[in-house]
Amino acid sequence: MYPKKELPFFILFTAGLCSFTALLALLTHQYPEPMGYIAKTVRVYLLHFTALLALLTHQYPEPMGYIAKTVRVYLLHFTTLLALLTHQYPEPMGYIAKTVSNPSAPHYLQY
């Protein structure tokens, strides 16, 4: 018997990322309005998270340094992608964004 060789982390990471992307695509196709609402909510939380990273990087430049800057750049790219999707598909995402920001929206759509 040969010893089993484990797959490299990069291959596992890529497979997980592709599977997650396919799942998001399927869910967005099947449920465009709830997924638009989720994307808007995730975008808001990511913006808050990037602001926190910016604050931590400013307060503690040595320990945070490279890692915080790298994570912040990737999160900014992700929020830019969500903004682009909102611009490209105004019906499912733009309607939900307007509904969420409207104070007269139902209580389950408000933060």
pLDDT category of residue 13 using cuts at 50, 70 and 90: confident
Per-residue model confidence as pLDDT tens digits over 17-35? 889 989 888 888 888 888 8
Is residue 81 situated within a structural domain? yes
Confidence of residue 108 (pLDDT cuts 50, 70, 90): very low
Name the residue with higher pLDDT: 97 or 27: 27
Residue 60 lies in a domain: yes
User: Tens of pLDDT along 31-79?
Assistant: 888 888 888 888 888 888 888 877 877 787 777 667 767 777 887 887 7
The answer to the question of residue 73 being in a domain is yes
Domain that holds residue 72: 37-109
In a domain, 22, yes or no: no
d(CA 30, CA 55): 38
pLDDT at position 99 is 55
**90 pLDDT tier (thresholds 50, 70, 90):** low
Residue 67 domain-assigned (yes or no): yes
Total domains in the fold of the chain: 1
